[in-house]
Chains A and B, each alone.
Chain A
Amino acid sequence: MATDILDVAGVNVAFGGIRALSDVSLRVPERSVTAVIGPNGAGKTTLFNVISGFYRAQSGNVMFAGADLLSQPAHTRSGVGISRTFQNIALFPGMTVAENIKLGAHAQLRANLFSAMLYLGSAASEERAIERRIDETVMTLLGLEEFRDSSVSGLPYGTQKRIELARALISQPRLLMLDEPFAGLPTAEKAKMAGQIRKVVAETSVTVLLIDHDMESIMNMSDQVVVLNFGQVIAAGTPGKVQADPAVIEAYLGAEE
């Protein structure tokens, strides 16, 4: 049994009087793919935002690789090995594809103000090194070579999703959080995306935690599925086990989707 890299324990979040997450606990085993599903408004993105450090939990703990996460500000996540994507694709439209992906490695690059302004020695060589690494790894893996130097604005939606994934991968994270990686993709691209995610898990030591609505993709590619409804975990386990759970069936039939 693999150890758990992420341990969410008893997290509660409320906005005003509304409970967004109540007593949510889940464990993510290392090198697995764990999917969080649930109807709209179930609290999936809220959970991601708590782990990312955007929302403050009123109570509860989140441990990553044995260290407490919630006491640390959001920008420290990248340094400890957590990266994520966003539901609405958070790329930087004013930059090229390569520059966007380079930003994924921001926490690993060392240039400081002075070395950057001089752009000699270390600052220049680390830029060349990261460019090479991008070209040799994520660009080829995700088929982005032809867009390398284009501005990201105006690129097709599916391409933008892959760029965001590339940006999240370039830092070689230990935990990769994907917020709706399949949303808005045509069926063929969904399968491609699922294949690429599984390939990354197989080839690197990354652990994936993802949110989505697409049952088929999730059930096919996940090791573990956690179901949220009205901010509570109502089921967790292997895809087969969760699909057969009466509480899950009720939640989905009762919801609009």
Chain B
Amino acid sequence: MSAQVSAAPAASFGRKALDPRIELLSWILLVLAMVSVPLWGSVYAVYMACLIAINVIATVGLNITVGYAGLLSIGHSAFLGVGAYASALMWLHLGTPLAFNLVVGAVSAFAVGLVFGIPALRIKGVYLAIATLAAQYSLYFVFQQWTSVTGGDRGLSLPKIDVFGYGDTGFYYVVAFVALVATLAARNLFRTRIGRSFIAVREKDYAAQVLGINVVVTKLVAFGIGAAYAGVAGALLAAFLRIVNPDQFTLVSSVFFLAAVVVGGRGSILGSILGALFMTMMPDLLREVIAHFSSEGADLASLLSPVREIAFGLLIVLFLIFEPRGLVGFVDRALGRAENVEARQEH
């Protein structure tokens, strides 16, 4: 799988553009890889592919906020939660179709994002980080305490979704399609004035103003899009796992997505894909490692959760210190695009 994906679009910004033909070929390979998973993969492979696709959506969103616009959001999972609960509630109470619920998830996460983003983004500096941390804690609290709506700690259980009578495979294709559309949309965004304005605001906000960019509005949009992507991912996650509860949307899961962005490569769509792929495989890998090193009968599950926190944190720190371009840096080097690696100034 990794072979196909590493050939995926290097539509990242700020380097010499890839030859359009190579880029198109990469997208086609990516689509073929995605389409073929259920043909050769086990049930588990399809399950993982679903999870990866959902995480790609959320990671692309966070990368728009953190990587492209340079705004630090450390409560990304809270917005997945908003999308998950909103879509689950629509489904349970109004029986609306999945496509509609995805839109509801996106819109509600966007709206809740603005509640926390508006006060913070009027100000310079790291205030958004504090506001998103506040979002993390307070939304968790709402999910947990507003029992009459959210079901409290037990959460909400959802009926199985059957897409065109194809069961899990059908659902996988839905998720894969949404992930592809979301990724392409993000890539398109950065071919236009909107995407350029995000980067301009990140790099020199005063110069951006001179060029007619409203800095506050731009930051809000960049943060809101990130939250909306999280909302879509959350809505898909709810439909996928068929359960929504507060413990899916904790700080650890926000660290997970931040790690995905940093490990993959900030300000890169390809990086978001690689990062989400890597990070989704990570817990399984850790489980293997722990099982290998721990004594017989040790409680693996109770070890896994702290080890995950250590691993996520370490990945963020080590990549920022040693490979700030993330896995995309490796790819660039492997493809001999060294000038991109060297010429690119970090943001």
* Chain A residues packing against B (C-beta within 8 Å): 52-54, 73-79, 83-84, 86, 90-96, 99, 102-107, 109, 111-113, 116-119, 123, 127, 149-151, 153-154, 167, 171
Nearest CB on A from B19, distance (A):
11
> Is B192 in contact with A119, judged by CB distance below 8 angstroms?
yes
Residues of A within 8 A of B192 (CB): 109, 111, 116, 119, 123, 127
Partner of A153, one of B13, B211, B215, B344: B344
Between A and B, how many residue pairs show CB distances below 8 Å? 128
> Is B195 in contact with A116, judged by CB distance below 8 angstroms?
yes
B157-214 residues with Cβ-Cβ distance < 8 A to A are 185-186, 188-189, 191-197, 199-200, 202-204, 206-214
Residues of A within 8 A of B189 (CB): 113, 116-117
Q: Tell me the interface secondary structure of chain A in the complex.
A: mixed
CB of B221 within 8 A of chain A?
yes
> Is A150 in contact with B16, judged by CB distance below 8 angstroms?
yes
Residues of A within 8 A of B206 (CB): 54, 74, 90
Q: Mask for B305-347, Cβ within 8 A of A = 1, else 0?
A: 0000000000000000000000000000000000010011101
Chain B interface size, as a band, is: 35 or more
> Is B207 in contact with A90, judged by CB distance below 8 angstroms?
yes
Residue of A nearest to B182 (CB): A117
> Is A151 in contact with B15, judged by CB distance below 8 angstroms?
yes
Residues of B within 8 A of A73 (CB): 209, 214
> Is A99 in contact with B210, judged by CB distance below 8 angstroms?
no
> Is B213 in contact with A96, judged by CB distance below 8 angstroms?
no
The 5 closest A-B pairs by CB, nearest first: A78-B212, A107-B212, A119-B188, A90-B207, A117-B185
Q: Tell me the interface secondary structure of chain B in the complex.
A: helix
CB of B267 within 8 A of chain A?
yes
Residues of B within 8 A of A118 (CB): 185, 188
Residues of B within 8 A of A127 (CB): 191-192
CB of B14 within 8 A of chain A?
yes
Residue of B nearest to A77 (CB): B210
CB of B17 within 8 A of chain A?
yes
> Is B14 in contact with A95, judged by CB distance below 8 angstroms?
yes
Cα(A154)–Cα(B14), bound, Å = 13
Partner of B196, one of A54, A102, A112: A102
Cα(A147)–Cα(B343), bound, Å = 13
Residues of B within 8 A of A52 (CB): 209-210
Cα(A78)–Cα(B213), bound, Å = 9
Cα(A237)–Cα(B286), bound, Å = 76
Known contacts A94-B345, A102-B196; decide if A78 and B211 are in contact (CB<8 Å): yes
Nearest CB on A from B17, distance (A):
6
> Is B213 in contact with A90, judged by CB distance below 8 angstroms?
no
30 contacts between A and B (CB under 8 A): A54-B206, A73-B209, A74-B206, A74-B209, A75-B210, A75-B213, A76-B212, A77-B210, A83-B210, A90-B207, A92-B203, A93-B203, A94-B203, A94-B267, A95-B13, A96-B15, A96-B17, A99-B13, A99-B196, A103-B197, A113-B225, A116-B194, A117-B186, A118-B188, A123-B188, A123-B192, A127-B191, A153-B345, A167-B211, A171-B211
